[in-house]
Amino acid sequence: MKSVAEICSDLIRFDTTNPGAGERPAAEYVATLLSDAGVEPVVFESAPRRTTVVARIPGDSPDALLIHGHLDVVPADPAEWELHPFSGEIVDDCVYGRGAVDMKGSCAMTIATVLGMRERGLRPKRDLVLAFLADEEATGDFGSRHAVAEHRELFDGVSEAISESGGYSVNHGDVRVYPVAVGERGTSWMKLTAHGVAGHGSRPAIDNPVATLVEGLSRLSAYQWPVRLTPSVAALIQNLSEITGQAIDLDRLDAEAERLGSLGSLFKAQIRNSANPTMLEAGYKVNVVPSSAEAHVDGRYLPGLQEEFLATVDELLGPKISREFVNLEEAPAAPYPSDFFDELAGSLVAEDPLARPVPYVMSGGTDAKSFDRIGIKGYGFAPLMLRPDLDYFGMFHGKDERVPVEGLEFGTRVLTRLLTSA
C-alpha cells in the first residue's frame, strides 16, 4: 500500500492548475486507487477534463458523513519556487509542491485512511461518502455546484461533512491549538461599472467614468468595517482567553490579534466584513476619455450579514456606480456546540494529548457552500500537526508550499480514529 506521503507526491505531480487543462489525470489516479481497494468510484465530468470522483463506503449507520476535497490548484510560477511546484519532492521530511496544503495533502490523507481501513478490515461506523472535486479554486461551477445539481443522489443520507481549512495545529507554549471551522464568511465577487461621457483627453471632462470609479473604490477601500462578533467567533475568543490565561479585550480586537500573533490570525479577518478591489479596466488610448470603466471587488461577509454588507457597499460606491455579481454565495454555518464537533475534537485529543480544539470561522470559502445548499452542514477538519516554523496561512496560494510527512501521518491516524473509533 502506498504511504500518505507517496500519494500526496503523486497528486502534486499532476498539474491541475485552474484555469488549465483540467483535473482528469488526478481524478483517474484517485479512482484507480479506490477501485484497487474494492471501493467502486463514480467518475463524471461537467465539461471535457473537468472531472470529479465520488464513492460511497457502507458503514454501521446509514446516517452518512461526507469527506470532500478538491483536485485543482491555483497557478504557480516555477521561477519563484526553490523546488519545482509540480515536482512533489520530499525534502527535509516535507512534501513540496502546489497543493501540498491546499489541498492535495488533505486528499492524500483521506485516500490513505480509506486504503488503510480496507487493508485492516475496518468498517466505518457510519456510511462514508468521498468526493474529490474539480474547480474549487474558481466558482465550483464545474465541480461542487455541478455535483449537487446533477448528481444529488450520490449524497443521499449525508447530514454532515468535513473538508479543508481546519484541524491544523497552532503552537502556543506547551499546548497546541487546533481550530475546527464551524462556518465561513460569505462570498460576494462583484463587477463594478461607471458610465460617463467619452471625449478628448486634452479637454475638461464632462463626466469621467475613470475618476468616478476610482473615487468610489477609494471610499470602499478606506472604509473601516465595524466589528461584528458572531456567536462562533465569540466562542473562539473565549476559548483563546482561557488557553492563554489572559482576557482578550473585545473593545480592541485588532490590537489583540496583533498581540496574540498566530493565535490572533484565527480571528483577525473574521470579526468584520471586507471588500477589496482586485482588478481594474478602463480606456484604450491615453488621450481618450472612455465612456465606461470597470473594476472587480472581492467582498466577504459574516454569517447573517449579507444584507448589511451589500447596503454598505452601495452607499460607499454612490449612485453613479452599478454593480453585478460575478459570484454570490451564502455564509454557511454548522451547529456549534454539537455532538459532532465533540467527536472531531475528541479524535484530535486522542492522538495529541496537548491538543486544544477550538471553533473558528474561515475568512475565505470552500466547497462547503455548495453542500450547504442541500442541507449538508460542513466543518473545516483536515487534521495536521504542523511544525512551529511553518506559516500555514502563508502557504495557501503562496510559494514553496509544503507539508510535513509526520503531519500527514498524524492526520491519517486522526481520520481513522474519527471514522472507526479504532
- Please give the positions annotated as active site: 72, 136
User: 190-211 burial string, b = 16+ CB within 10 Å, else e?
Assistant: bebbbebeebeeeeeeeebbbe
Q: Which of 280, 282, 257, 251 is nearest to 270 (CA)?
A: 257
CA dist., res. 391 & res. 262, Å (int): 9
CA dist., res. 270 & res. 360, Å (int): 9
DSSP letters for 101-128: TTTHHHHHHHHHHHHHHHHHTPPPSS-E
CB–CB of 332/338 below 8 Å?
Answer: no
CB–CB of 45/51 below 8 Å?
Answer: yes
Q: Which helix (H) or strand (E) holds 380?
A: strand 377-380
Kind of pairing between the strands at 158-163 and 64-70: parallel
CA dist., res. 295 & res. 217, Å (int): 9
| Helices (H), ranges, 265-338 | 306-317
Classify 269 as helix, strand or coil: coil
Q: Which of 366, 406, 371 is nearest to 155 (CA)?
A: 371
Instruction: Extract the runs of DSSP E, i.e. beta strands, from 241-302.
Output: 274-282, 288-289, 292-301
CB–CB of 139/46 below 8 Å?
Answer: no
Kind of pairing between the strands at 128-133 and 50-57: antiparallel
DSSP 408: H
DSSP letters for 128-142: EEEEEES-TTTTSTT
CB–CB of 239/249 below 8 Å?
Answer: no
Contacts with 403 (C-beta within 8 Å, 6 or more apart), sequence order: 8, 94, 95, 100, 101, 105, 384
CB–CB of 351/417 below 8 Å?
Answer: yes
Start-to-end Cα distance in the chain: 19
